[in-house]
Amino acid sequence: MANPADKGRYDTKLSLSDLIVAYASLQNQVLDQINSLASSMSTADPGEFLLAQFGMSQVNQIGQTISNMIYQVNSVIMNTIRNQKVQ
């Protein structure tokens, strides 16, 4: 049986455009971080480089996830169309 505290937890809808806007924002934040590091190479510490590398890795993974989602949605649409043509 569902926990009453969970009520409404999954009511929020997520759109592809919201994901892409959030992704672009994250990309810009990482780009700003890289630009900041590049402009102060002599004073940057190794931790800042590690954080930038981690941020770039996250942006890459999120981009791949969005790409996979688009591919899967496209596959579902194409399969639906193909199944309708058969009938």
Whether the CB-CB separation of 37 and 44 falls below 8 Å is answered with yes
pTM, entire model: 0.70
| Domain encompassing residue 55 | 16-86
Number of structural domains, the chain? 1
One digit per residue, the tens of pLDDT, for the chain of length 87 reads: 456 566 666 677 778 888 899 999 999 999 999 998 888 878 888 888 899 999 999 999 999 999 999 999 999 999 999 888 766
Please check whether residue 68 lies inside any domain of the structure. Answer: yes
Q: Classify the phi-psi angles of 2: left when phi > 0, otherwise alpha if psi is within -120 to 50, otherwise beta.
A: beta
Please check whether residue 2 lies inside any domain of the structure. Answer: no
Please check whether residue 63 lies inside any domain of the structure. Answer: yes
Q: Tell me whether residue 30 is exposed, middle or buried, using C-beta atoms within 10 angstroms of its C-beta: 0 to 12, 13 to 18, 19 or more.
A: buried
Check residue 1 and give its pLDDT: 47
